[in-house]
Amino acid sequence: MKSQSVVTELRRKVFTAVARVAYESENPEHDLEEIPYLITPDEVPKYRESIYRERQIAAERVRLAMGLSLRPANRPVHVTSGLNKSDIADKYYEPPLMQVIPSACDKCPDNEYYVSDQCRNCVSHACVKVCPKGAVSIVNGKSYIDQSKCIKCGKCKAACPYDAIAHHIRPCSAACGVKAISSDEYGRAHIDNDTCVACGQCMSACPFGAIADKSQIYQLIKAIKNGDEVVAAVAPAIVGQFGPKVTVGKMKSALLALGFKDVFEVAVGADVGCIAEAHHYVKEVTTGEIPFLFTSCCPAWAVLVKKQFPDLAPRVSEELTPMVATARSIKVNHPNARVVFIGPCAAKKLEASRRTVRSFVDFVITFEELAGMFDAKGINLEEIEELPVRIEATGAGRGYACAGGVAGAIEKCIHEYYPEAEVKIQHAEGLTDCKKILMLAKAGKLNGYMIEGMGCPGGCVAGVGTLIPPEKAKVVVDMTVKQSEKQVPDKDLENLAEKLSGMN
């Protein structure tokens, strides 16, 4: 399957190589050390000024793919240092999840105005005239901005008739909706982990591939090879991710070929959640018992509320997220199963490491990491046998994959079970807009509403672990929702929700 960029292509090569070592190697320490040379076999660099820098970056990616932290820059440490801590079938993510690879960061300028070659040295000199600090002058027949005087007001850019002044913003910083990224003492990107909500948008925005998260694929494969009862809980956003010819039946067949014992649909857990939240909305919000209710399925959104709007935290629904509800329902019938959530989201990795979740969700991997596992095993998803699948979820649960789908599913349930109830729905996508809607709620402007928040613009289909563009994925998800035999889950699922909530 074609990668969206060279960065994702390089990441996938690392995941594939690490997965292959986990599946096949009898000498993992040697073979893991060799991966940077396998990925960059030539002496001529392709993307950096030095082949040694390319291998250094590849080595750090190997460590993150192993679930290990980056190596210190001031002392020698082998790529496989600490391998004994990861060469096991059990390992939870250790924060920080999102990490900046120092050798990969290009020290992009952040919030600076520069004059480009488009400057024509016009007679107007509007950029000079409009600058309130005298930072713009004419040097050698071209406008010049003195960065020591510039206050970043942007008036020069607005005044230029040729758009010859560029505003440079570090891509990772621009993508971060919670302003968790700054510069360290060397000019490299730095993530404030106290502010970060692990949405991963910085990772997908960085054109140098300098930001990456940790993976559990090595430990997952170890569990499979140990003969454990490893089962897959697949998020609804997976439809279309591996190509238009890869049906649900082929995906199940491919997962079983990787060593999974069974495959479950996380949209069933979404059905359980949306019916319970529909009841809560009617019984608590429409009656005025509470002013509004927030959805809880997006961990980045939920953490944003708790970190930056702690007084609103009680309004986050206490219903289980689809991932957790599905994992708990699996454990009811398969108490010894090792549940693997396969989805588009990086933040789910931290959700799964919470004390109340980790006994039910054993591993979290993204579609991108799963693709590396398929490559390592040489599985062609388009040509693999199609197996019969059990269809249990409704259109409501499957719609969770797109922004607005969660609130839309809850609204469907309310109309079905409480046709007389008035429903007020709002949703926000992207953390910047999520903060805006939270401020409106705090100001009392959204009383009576069910409010959905999604950390990624576009919803889960825009998560950092996806393989295709969000707009393309949304079309496939919408089609899947429309083609679902049932659009709304049965009301009696509320009993299941109560049972699952009581598990510990």
Q: What kind and span of H or E run contains 53?
A: helix 51-65
Distance CA(143)–CA(127), nearest Å, equals: 8
**CB-based contacts of 423: which residues, under 8 Å, 6+ apart?**
281, 411, 414, 415, 450
Residue 460, classed as helix, strand or coil, is helix
Here the tokens at position 347 are 């933040």
pTM score > 0.85 for this model?
yes
- Dihedral of alpha carbons 275, 281, 284, 290, sign: positive
Contact by Cβ (8 Å): 68, 14: no
DSSP conformation class of 315: G
DSSP conformation class of 311: G
Distance CA(235)–CA(350), nearest Å, equals: 16
Q: Where are the beta strands (DSSP E) in 312-456?
A: 338-343, 363-366, 425-429, 450-454
CB neighbourhood size of 149 (10 A): 13
Half-sphere exposure of 110 (CA within 13 A, CB side): 20
Query: What distance, in Å, lies between the first and last C-alpha atoms of the chain?
Result: 40
Distance CA(191)–CA(447), nearest Å, equals: 34
Distance CA(140)–CA(161), nearest Å, equals: 20
In Å, what is the CA distance from 23 to each residue of 80, 120, 232? 17, 60, 18
Here the tokens at position 96 are 């920080």
pLDDT in tens, the chain (504 residues): 566 789 999 999 999 999 999 999 999 999 999 999 999 988 899 999 999 999 999 999 999 999 998 998 888 899 999 888 777 777 667 778 999 999 999 999 888 999 999 999 999 999 999 999 999 999 999 999 999 999 999 999 999 999 999 999 999 999 999 999 999 999 999 999 999 999 999 999 999 999 999 999 999 999 999 999 999 999 999 999 999 999 999 999 999 999 999 999 999 999 999 998 999 999 999 999 999 999 999 999 999 999 999 999 999 998 899 999 999 999 998 999 999 999 999 999 989 988 888 889 999 999 999 999 999 999 999 999 999 888 789 999 999 999 999 999 999 999 999 999 999 999 999 999 999 999 999 999 999 999 999 999 999 999 999 999 999 999 999 999 999 989 998 876 666 666 666 666
Q: Kindly compute the dihedral angle of the four CA atoms of residues 82, 87, 93, 96, in this order, to the nearest 10 degrees.
A: 20
Q: Which domains does the chain have, with CATH numbers?
A: 1-88 (no CATH), 98-107+172-213 (3.30.70.20), 112-168 (3.30.70.20), 229-501 (no CATH)
